[in-house]
């Protein structure tokens, strides 16, 4: 009974004062922070994780989750420091390499990000998320065939990975494999009917194939799902103009202009007034 009471006191004191030496209390802080992060309360999560780190600087999960939360807030430099600490404590922490890759990619360093994703995959060869992330980074630097291979691997290990399915379609589209790309976008929509960019990407592929009516229908669905997707309205205007429907095109461009698109403004000035 006395030991149980001391344990409760330890938890309370650690939670309130961030004192070190009470492992279970640190675990509670990390668990609470994880829930807050999943609910989108990133600042609250960071506050909890900072207390956990102060109590136990060797807790690799606390460093990792704080880095994760900071990436979500766009605080990439501090996120890198946290993720470096997590990896220093556990060199085999594959998820930390993946998250550090995300931070580097979002900082505009795709090549450095690829190195981290590759390390995550080396540590965990069935890590679908790292394959997808590496593929996307490779696609941004025009390494399309390697990107396609990464997306295919991601789907081998997680066949229902919606984002990877859409990205595989996008890689195929950029490689000129339009019909194959459309198949992947259709599979993406089967997995998630509300996946806006799959509808948009499929419309681009259909447009390039000369299927303008189909492209217009797909873009209509795109802006129905996300009424504020400026690029959707802009592209819908181009498709309608190609089909000879200039009044319809002007209406689409008008909506894009209302959403702040400068290109739509010039199109309206040139073609609609």
Domains and CATH numbers, the chain: 194-273 (1.25.40.10)
pLDDT at 25: 79
- Tens of pLDDT, residue by residue over 172-229, are 999 999 999 999 999 999 999 999 999 999 999 999 999 999 999 999 999 999 999 9
pLDDT score recorded for residue 37: 87
Q: Does residue 230 sit in helix, strand or coil?
A: helix
* pLDDT for the residue 262: 96
Query: Please, are residues 207 and 227 in contact by the beta-carbon 8 Å criterion?
Result: no
Percent pLDDT > 90 in the chain is 86
- Token duo for residue 263: 């290109």
pLDDT for residue 24: 63
List CB contacts of 60: < 8 A, sequence separation 6 or more: 85, 86, 89, 90, 93, 96
Q: What is the H or E stretch that residue 6 is in?
A: helix 2-17
**Predicted TM-score (pTM) of this structure:** 0.87
* Calpha distance 83→113 (Å, rounded): 13
What whole-number percentage of the chain has pLDDT above 70?
91
Which H helix or E strand runs over 65?
Answer: helix 60-72
Instruction: Give me the pLDDT at residue 33, please.
Output: 85
How far is residue 247 from each of residues 13, 180, 186, 254, 271, measured CA to CA in Å?
Answer: 69, 33, 30, 10, 10
What is the Cα 243 distance to its own chain's centre? 35
The predicted pLDDT at position 27 comes to 85
Q: Is the pLDDT of residue 41 over 50?
A: yes
Q: How far is CA 144 from the centre of its chain?
A: 19
Q: Report the mean per-residue pLDDT for the chain.
A: 92
- Band (31; pLDDT cuts 50, 70, 90): confident
Q: Which residue has the tokens 């997995």?
A: 191
- Summarised one tens digit per residue, pLDDT across range 104-157 is 999 999 999 999 999 999 999 999 999 999 999 999 999 999 999 999 999 999
199-217 burial, b for 16+ CB within 10 Å, e for fewer?
A: bbbbbbbbbeeebbebbbe
Q: Is the pLDDT of residue 47 over 80?
A: yes
**Dist. CA 158–CA 164, nearest whole Å:** 9
Q: Are 82 and 102 in contact (CB under 8 A)?
A: no
Instruction: Specify the DSSP element, H or E, that contains 58.
Output: none
Tokens for 249, please give them.
């095109």
Which of 10-24, 214-228, 246-260 shows the lowest per-residue confidence on average (mean pLDDT)?
Answer: 10-24
pLDDT value at position 230? 97
The whole-angstrom separation of Cα 124 and Cα 95 is: 9
- Cα–Cα distance, 140 to 118 (Å, whole number): 16
């Amino acid at each position: 009974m006395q030991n149980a009471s001391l344990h409760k006191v330890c938890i309370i004191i650690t939670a309130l004062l961030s004192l070190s030496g009470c492992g279970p209390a640190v675990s509670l802080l990390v668990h609470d922070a994880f829930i807050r992060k999943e609910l989108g309360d990133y600042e609250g999560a960071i506050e909890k994780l900072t207390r956990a780190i102060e109590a136990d600087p060797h807790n690799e999960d606390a460093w990792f989750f704080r880095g994760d939360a900071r990436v979500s807030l766009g605080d990439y430099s501090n996120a890198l420091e946290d993720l470096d600490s997590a990896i220093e404590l556990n060199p085999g922490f594959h998820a930390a390499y993946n998250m550090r890759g995300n931070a580097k990619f979002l900082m505009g360093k795709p090549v450095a990000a690829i190195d981290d994703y590759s390390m995550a995959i080396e540590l965990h060869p069935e890590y679908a998320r790292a394959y997808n992330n590496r593929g996307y980074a490779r696609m941004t630097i025009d390494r399309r065939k390697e990107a396609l291979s990464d997306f295919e691997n991601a789907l081998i290990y997680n066949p229902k990975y919606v984002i990877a399915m859409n990205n595989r379609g996008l890689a195929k589209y950029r490689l000129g494999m339009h019909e194959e790309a459309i198949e992947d976008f259709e599979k993406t929509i089967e997995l998630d009917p509300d996946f806006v960019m799959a509808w948009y990407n499929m419309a681009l592929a259909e447009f390039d194939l000369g299927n303008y009516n189909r492209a217009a229908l797909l873009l209509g669905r795109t802006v129905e799902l996300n009424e504020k997707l400026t690029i959707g309205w802009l592209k819908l205007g181009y498709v309608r103009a190609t089909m000879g429907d200039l009044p319809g095109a002007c209406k689409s461009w008008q909506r894009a202009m209302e959403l702040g698109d400068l290109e739509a403004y010039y199109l309206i000035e040139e073609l609609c007034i």
